[in-house]
Amino acid sequence: MKHLYQYLAPPESGKKMKLGKICPEKLQRLVFPYQGKVRPEILYNASLGRDCGIADLGGDLLAATCDPITGTSSHLGFFAVNVVANDLICGGAEPVAILVSLILPPGTPDTHIEEIMKEIDEECQKLQISVLGGHTELSDAVNRTIIHCSGIGRAQKGNLPDVEKVRPGDSIVITKGAGIEGTAILAHSHQESLQKKYGDFFVTRSQDFLRFLSVVPEGKIALPFQPHCLHDATEGGLLGALWEVCEGQKLGFEIEESAIFIPPETRELCDFFGMDPLKLISSGTLIIFTDEPEPVMAHLTQAGIPSFQIGTIAREKDKIIKKPPGTRETITECPRDELWR
């Protein structure tokens, strides 16, 4: 279950609110205790590091998730579909349908609405997802378009991956690299300034990272190998995703910085903007927690999807990055996404 990390100062402090996802401590204190009626059909509900809920309604299992798109004003339909589809596959479910809510500022042209819906249709066609319904309105409560998407999936009964199954000694495997979504967003949002600095070819190549955003293909490859958990590295990037999974289970991790692939375009953009690529939003990076990494990595390679074994889960709660030459950095709090900073 993902929210925008918002580090909220106490009202009496007078401090300016920081944007981004609510930090794990606040989620556990302010959000997760209030989850309505405990029903016997619910197998997995909201929890830190869990991407979707699962209900047993008889027959196949029902998976459900939702996400807003707030970090970008372009390609809203594309992001909305792929983010919820990624959540569903990480929950072990086949994406089936979505519901879309569009809140638009006054004066929004019809062409903008149609552009978003065309993107939604195109991505749903690719992923074999139906648009089940939604809501569209003009409102002076917003000054730019907000899109909120709910996803519905179908899962088979059996050994579903879940954050509660992560255990000490599990290998941490990632696909494709770090900072994927952030690279595309930065290249689209700052196109003109980046073209002046790096030229058209570099910017186009960075914008093209959108095509790596889906983790549905690698999720389908990984699921038959019964990974303990699958997690899409969204806001907070790779480090934020690892923190969420481990903090909720009172575990730690130890990863090798040198083992984490950072695409050259991502590294260049992060250097330009003064960002840490490991804390940059990264939908498209699937994190696989497994006690048998070799078979799934071999099948990913056969499918042409790069994968990297970057570390292990630790019994202690320390969250450590091993850096060359022989130094160690301990992550003491959940990272705020670099895109918001």
Q: Where are the alpha helices (DSSP H) in 190-249?
A: 191-198, 200-207, 216-222, 237-248
As a whole number, the mean pLDDT across the chain is: 91
Instruction: Give domain limits for the chain.
Output: 43-155, 163-330
- Please list the residues that pair with 232 across neighbouring strands: 286
User: pLDDT digits over 58-103, tens only?
Assistant: 889 999 999 888 767 778 999 999 999 999 999 999 999 999 999 9
| Percentage with pLDDT > 90 across the chain | 78
Is pLDDT of 12 > 50? no
- Give the whole-angstrom CA distance, residue 63 versus residue 53: 6
Q: Which fold does the domain 43-155 belong to in CATH?
A: 60s Ribosomal Protein L30; Chain: A; (3.30.1330)
Residues 168-190 have a mean pLDDT of 95
Strand order in the sheet with 319-323: 229-232, 286-290, 171-175, 307-314, 252-256, 319-323, 327-330
pLDDT at 312: 98
pLDDT reported for residue 233 = 94
Rounded distance, CA 27 to CA 6, Å? 10
Across 18-32, 248-262, 315-329, least confident range:
18-32
The model's pTM is: 0.87
Q: Is the pLDDT of residue 293 over 90?
A: yes
Q: Is the pLDDT of residue 11 over 80?
A: no
* Residue-wise pLDDT tens digits, 115-157: 999 999 999 999 999 999 999 999 999 999 999 999 999 999 8
Q: How many angstroms separate the Cα of 122 from the Cα of each of 54, 118, 145, 206?
A: 27, 6, 20, 21
**Topology annotation, domain 163-330:** Phosphoribosyl-aminoimidazole Synthetase; Chain A, domain 2 (3.90.650)
Kindly state the percentage of the chain with pLDDT values over 70: 94
